[in-house]
Amino acid sequence: MALRLGPREFGAEELVIMAIVNRTPDSFFDRGATFADEAAFAAADKAVAEGAGILDIGGVKAGPGEEVTVAEELRRTVPFVAALRERHPSVVISVDTWRHEVGEAVCEVGADLLNDAWGGADPKLAEVAARYGAGLVCTHAGRAEPRTRPHRIGYQDVMADILDVTVGLAERALELGVRRDGLIIDPGHDFGKNTRHSLEATRRLPEMTATGFPVLVSLSNKDFVGETLDKPVDERLLGTLATTAVSAWLGAQVYRVHQVAETRQVLDMVASIRGTRPPAVARRGLA
């Protein structure tokens, strides 16, 4: 089934980049580089030019930190989404939030997708997606409270738990009226998981794709990459791209990333090896 989000329809075999544009002063990777409007618009423009089909706007960093009220999250996201909708009418705009008040406000000004990274912490968010005809990302976060880190968390079978949560959230969303072709499931790398859990979730991605829902992976520069290779945040690109290639081969469709151009090349190469994308040029051995 095609994935239909706002102005775009993505074929079942199309590998889609969701570019991260943080409206936060304290995000773990860019340290507030796109907190200011001008920098955020420049980052969005660059991401689209490099091949992103979705722009994911976040107003609260995932990890612990200074409290961000609903009013402050609205201030950081709503005007920006409204301006971005006019600036890029053919790009899918996603907002990374768990709060229904924020979901309502951004959908009012043109958001196409609500990226619920905290696994239904606010059940009303799915109701908002249904009411506005928006898409919804259903994520496994180990039932953790928003903005908390996992502590001695364990699973009898991590993928069984991932499937139980994400498919359960998707089925509830369907019952509420969210479109089937607007639902995405996400194993939630690092969220409510230790490094071994995230590695296992990656190698078992075919169990998620077998559900029939498109799978999103948010791998970019995450702690499980850093711990696996013992690398700091600014040295995790190669590990991220290796995980991206494996995830693409195993069937994930949407990739939430910081570095768009590098990811685009990896995904295009995997698609060409898989046989779903022709080479950009073909000269060798033809003359």
Q: List the domain boundaries for the chain.
A: 3-274
In the CATH hierarchy, which fold is given to the domain comprising 3-274?
A: TIM Barrel (3.20.20)
Q: What is the pLDDT of residue 30?
A: 85
- What is the Cβ-side half-sphere exposure of residue 182, based on CA atoms within 13 angstroms? 27
What is the helix (H) or strand (E) element at residue 134, kind and residue range?
none
At residue 75 the predicted structure's pLDDT band, cuts being 50, 70 and 90, is very high
For the record, the structure tokens of 132 come out as: 């506005």
Mean pLDDT of 8-24: 97
Cβ partners under 8 Å of residue 34, min gap 6: 21, 22, 23, 40, 43
Per-residue pLDDT reduced to its tens digit, 201-253: 999 999 999 999 999 999 999 999 999 999 999 999 999 999 999 999 999 99
How far is the C-alpha of 123 from the C-alpha of 99, rounded, in Å? 9
- State the Cα torsion 238-244-249-255 to the nearest 10°: -160
Q: Is 256 among the catalytic positions?
A: yes
Query: In whole angstroms, what separates CA 231 from the centre of its chain?
Result: 22
State the chain's mean pLDDT as an integer. 97
Q: What is the DSSP letter of 120?
A: S
3-state secondary structure of 207: helix
Strand pairing category for 8-10 and 92-96? unpaired
Question: Is 187:146 a contact under the CB 8 Å cutoff?
Answer: no
Is it the case that residue 165 has pLDDT exceeding 90?
Answer: yes
Cβ partners under 8 Å of residue 17, min gap 6: 47, 51, 52, 53, 54, 254, 255, 257, 260, 263, 264, 267
Cβ partners under 8 Å of residue 137, min gap 6: 94, 113, 114, 115, 116, 117, 184, 185, 186, 216
Question: Is 260:19 a contact under the CB 8 Å cutoff?
Answer: yes
At residue 1 the predicted structure's pLDDT band, cuts being 50, 70 and 90, is confident
Of residues 154, 247, 244, 152, the one with CA closest to residue 208: 247
Mean pLDDT of 107-125: 98
At residue 287 the predicted structure's pLDDT band, cuts being 50, 70 and 90, is confident
Q: What is the DSSP letter of 49?
A: H
Of residues 193, 144, 146, 188, the one with CA closest to residue 163: 188
Of 23, 61, 99, 222, catalytic? 222
How far is the C-alpha of 252 from the C-alpha of 259, rounded, in Å? 18
Neighbours of 52 (CB within 10 A): 26
Q: What is the pLDDT of residue 89?
A: 97
Per-residue pLDDT reduced to its tens digit, 20-54: 999 999 888 888 899 999 999 999 999 999 999 99
For the record, the structure tokens of 67 come out as: 């409290």
Of 23, 61, 236, 256, catalytic? 256
Name the percent of the chain lying above pLDDT 90: 95
Per-residue pLDDT reduced to its tens digit, 173-208: 999 999 999 999 999 999 999 999 999 999 999 999
What is the helix (H) or strand (E) element at residue 67, kind and residue range?
none
State the pTM of this model: 0.96
